[in-house]
Chain A
Amino acid sequence: MMNAGPITLERLDELLSAYGADEAGWPAGERQAARELIAASAEARRLLEDARALDTLLSAAPVEEPSEELVERLMAARPREVPKELPQARRGAGGAKKGGGLRGIAAALWPYGSSAFPAGALAASLVLGIALGTSTGISPIATNSGATTTAAATADTTDDQLIAIALADPSYIEEWTQ
Chain B
Amino acid sequence: MDGIPDDELVAAVAKGDESACRELMKRHLGRVVALARRMLGNQADAEEIAQEVFLRVWKHAEKWEPGRAQFSTWLHRVGTNLCLDRLRKQGMDDLDAIPEPASEDPTPYEAMAQKDVARRVDAALQQLPPRQRLAITLSHYQGLTNIEAAEVMEVTVEAVESLLGRARRALKAALATEKDELLRRMNTGA
A58-B121, A61-B38 as given contacts; A74 in contact with B15, CB under 8 Å: no
Contact among B121, B143, B168 for A60, CB-based, below 8 A: B121
Q: For residues 131 through 190 of chain B, which have their beta carbon under 8 Å from a beta carbon of chain A? A: 136, 139-141, 143, 145-146, 157-158, 161-162, 164-165, 168-169, 171-172, 175, 179, 182-183, 186
Instruction: Say yes or no: A80 contacts B16, CB within 8 Å.
Output: yes
A:35-80 near B, CB below 8 Å: 53-67, 70-71, 73-75, 77-80
Q: Which residues of chain A in 1-41 are interfacial with respect to chain B, using CB atoms and an 8 Å cutoff?
A: 1, 14, 17-20, 24-25, 27-28
- The answer to whether B140 touches A62, judged by C-beta atoms less than 8 angstroms apart, is no
Is the interface on chain A under 10, 10 to 19, 20 to 34, or 35 or more residues? 35 or more
B33 in contact with A77 (CB, 8 Å)? no
Instruction: List, in ascending order, chain A residues with CB within 8 A of B183's CB.
Output: 53, 56-57
Which of B1-9, B53-61, B77-85, B89-97 lies at the interface? B53-61
Chain B residue contacts of A168, Cβ below 8 A: none
In the complex, the answer to whether A64 meets B33 with C-beta atoms within 8 Å is yes
Name, among B54, B125, B141, B143, the residue most crowded by chain A CB atoms within 10 Å (CB to CB). Answer: B54
The yes or no answer to A82 lying at the interface (CB within 8 A) is: yes
Contact of B122 among A55, A62, A66, A77 (CB under 8 A): A62
Not counting A17-B169, A66-B29, A66-B33, a sample of 14 additional A-B residue pairs whose C-beta atoms are within 8 angstroms of each other reads: A1-B158, A24-B143, A25-B145, A60-B117, A60-B118, A63-B34, A64-B33, A66-B30, A66-B47, A66-B50, A74-B55, A79-B14, A79-B62, A80-B16
Could you name 24 residue pairs across A and B whose Cβ atoms are closer than 8 Å? A19-B139, A20-B139, A25-B140, A27-B157, A54-B175, A55-B140, A57-B179, A57-B182, A58-B121, A60-B118, A60-B182, A61-B118, A61-B121, A62-B122, A66-B47, A66-B50, A71-B29, A74-B25, A74-B51, A74-B54, A75-B21, A75-B22, A80-B16, A82-B16
Residue numbers of A with Cβ under 8 A of B are 1, 14, 17-20, 24-25, 27-28, 53-67, 70-71, 73-75, 77-82
Chain B interface residues (CB < 8 Å from chain A): 13-18, 21-22, 25, 29-30, 33-34, 37-38, 43, 47, 50-51, 54-55, 58, 61-62, 117-119, 121-122, 125, 136, 139-141, 143, 145-146, 157-158, 161-162, 164-165, 168-169, 171-172, 175, 179, 182-183, 186
